[in-house]
Amino acid sequence: MQHLSQEAWAAQLAADENAVILDVRTEEEWEDGIIPGALLNDIYKGQGFIYRLEELDKSKNYYVYCKAGGRSAQACQIMKQLGFEHTYNLEGGFMNWQGEVTQP
């Protein structure tokens, strides 16, 4: 897992053809807006979160965010334990995101 600043995360994401954006917030938070193209997998779903992770392609590069950066860092650690090699945590989370936002 790498912790990336807003600028580094956005720049690396834009240049990555193997990228998947993963939003680990709650559905209520998701409704407030998302980074375009993000998939929702609420980390608070416990085992359901793990099951959804296991359905993902481990060869992809995962750009993970939550509201402030804590849950996404935790999600990246869990993903590493499950065999995901490339995860990138958005420092400061969605609440500090300066890039494009869309409605889900």
The Cα–Cα gap between 40 and 22 comes to 6
The Cα–Cα gap between 87 and 76 comes to 6
Q: Which domains can be identified in the chain, with CATH numbers?
A: 2-96 (3.40.250.10)
The model's pLDDT over 1-29, given as tens digits with 9 standing for 90+, comes to 999 999 999 999 999 999 999 999 999 99
Ordered DSSP codes for 82-94 = TT---EEEETTTG
Task: Determine phi and psi for 26, rounding to 5 degrees.
Answer: -80, 165
Cα 38 to the center of its chain, rounded Å:
8
The model's pLDDT over 33-62, given as tens digits with 9 standing for 90+, comes to 999 999 999 999 999 999 999 999 999 999
Rounded to two decimals, what is the model's pTM? 0.96
Give me the catalytic one of 22, 35, 43, 66: 66
Orientation of helix 70-81 relative to helix 47-54, angle to 10°? 60
> Does the active-site annotation cover 66?
yes
